[in-house]
């Protein structure tokens, strides 16, 4: 027989008549609200604990698997990115080495050009200096010759 609210109320009224209000209330508070069929036993709780443990273990395994998959994907992605960075660094080193070689060749070529120009300028300077010395010597010879000539003619 199912316990209804009406039957609980009738039981309380009868207990109140027999035991009094305080004892009737105390006794009613010790009864389950819907009947004993709704009260969980220790066995019910143990079975519930077992089901919850299994469910929790399955969920934990699923989350752990999911995390492991995500970590593996992140590790693969990170490895791929690191490999790409290493390749780019190698390319940059090669480009830098090439740039350095080109720059060194350009500086070497400029140095050779300056050396040729300075040698040419030095040669010109020496040639001009030699020319001036020669002109000066010839001028001096001419002046002395003319002075000697003037002296012989005049005297």
Q: Which two tokens stand for residue 55?
A: 């469910």
| Same domain membership, residue 35 and residue 46 | no
Q: Which two tokens stand for residue 18?
A: 């027999």
Domain count, the chain: 2
pLDDT at res. 65: 97
Domain extent for 34: 1-39
Other beta carbons within 10 angstroms of residue 28's beta carbon come to: 14
pTM above the 0.85 mark? Answer: no
Band the pLDDT of 1: cuts 50, 70, 90.
low
Distance CA 127, CA 132 (A): 8
| Same domain membership, residue 73 and residue 59 | yes
Q: Is the pLDDT of residue 155 over 70?
A: no
Q: What is the mean pLDDT of the chain?
A: 90
| Same domain membership, residue 85 and residue 20 | no
pLDDT at res. 86: 97
Band the pLDDT of 127: cuts 50, 70, 90.
confident
| Same domain membership, residue 60 and residue 32 | no
């Amino acid at each position: 027989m199912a316990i209804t609210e009406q039957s609980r109320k009738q039981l309380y009224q009868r207990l109140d008549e027999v035991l009094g209000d305080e004892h009737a209330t105390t006794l009613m508070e010790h009864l389950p609200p819907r009947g004993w069929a709704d009260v969980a036993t220790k066995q019910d709780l143990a079975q519930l604990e077992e089901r919850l443990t299994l469910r929790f273990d399955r969920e934990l395994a699923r989350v752990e698997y999911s995390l492991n998959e995500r970590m593996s994907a992140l590790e693969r992605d990170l490895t791929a990115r690191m490999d790409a960075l290493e390749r780019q660094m190698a390319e940059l080193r090669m480009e830098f080495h090439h740039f350095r070689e080109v720059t060194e060749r350009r500086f070497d070529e400029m140095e050779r050009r300056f050396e040729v120009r300075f040698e040419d300028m030095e040669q010109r300077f020496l040639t001009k200096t030699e020319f001036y010395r020669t002109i000066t010597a010839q001028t001096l010879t001419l002046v002395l010759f003319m002075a000697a000539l003037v002296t012989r003619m005049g005297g």
